[in-house]
Amino acid sequence: MTEYWAFIVRDHIYQGKTILARDVLADRVRNKFWSLNSRARNVRKLMKGDKVIFYLTSSEGKGFMGRGTLAGKAHPMSIEQRFHIIGSPSINFDYAVEFSEAEMWPKLVSIDLLADRMPLLLGRKNPARIFRGSVIRLSERDYDIVLETAEKLMRKD
């Protein structure tokens, strides 16, 4: 059975400089894998075929900026994958999961556009607080609402 997830990416710090979450995401999409903490909630539940949307929490804003499909289960990170990891917090992670497909959207889908439509966020005073972890389970409806909103936003251009 397909599960739906939000993978959260934050701004990273490397040698005292900020790497924007957007740039971290671009690197992860390009390399088709996501670094994870083996102790993070839900890591062991990730399975091949699961659908993921990428949530950014950044100095540039908060919202969704891409999607992917998992190619398999989470596993210890390979030496090759570790080579691609720059900055904290990801440099401390020890697990990874690959994507069979992954894309980054050209625009951020602000959480403000979704707060009154996503069942997960309804009635919350601060909807962004939901995305404090690293892997958050979503309902299929939540996932579909994000994709529909993203498609509409991208078509406006």
Task: Domain count for the chain, please give it.
Answer: 1
Q: CATH no. for residue 70?
A: 3.10.590.10
CA distance readout (Å), 122 to 23, 53, 112, 131? 30, 19, 11, 14
Summarize pLDDT for 76-104 with one digit per residue, the tens.
Answer: 999 999 988 988 988 889 999 999 999 99
Domain that holds residue 107: 4-155
User: Which is more confident, 23 or 129?
Assistant: 23
Share of the chain above pLDDT 90, in %: 71
Q: What's the pTM?
A: 0.92
- Residue 121 is predicted with a pLDDT of 77
- Which amino acid belongs to residue 66? G
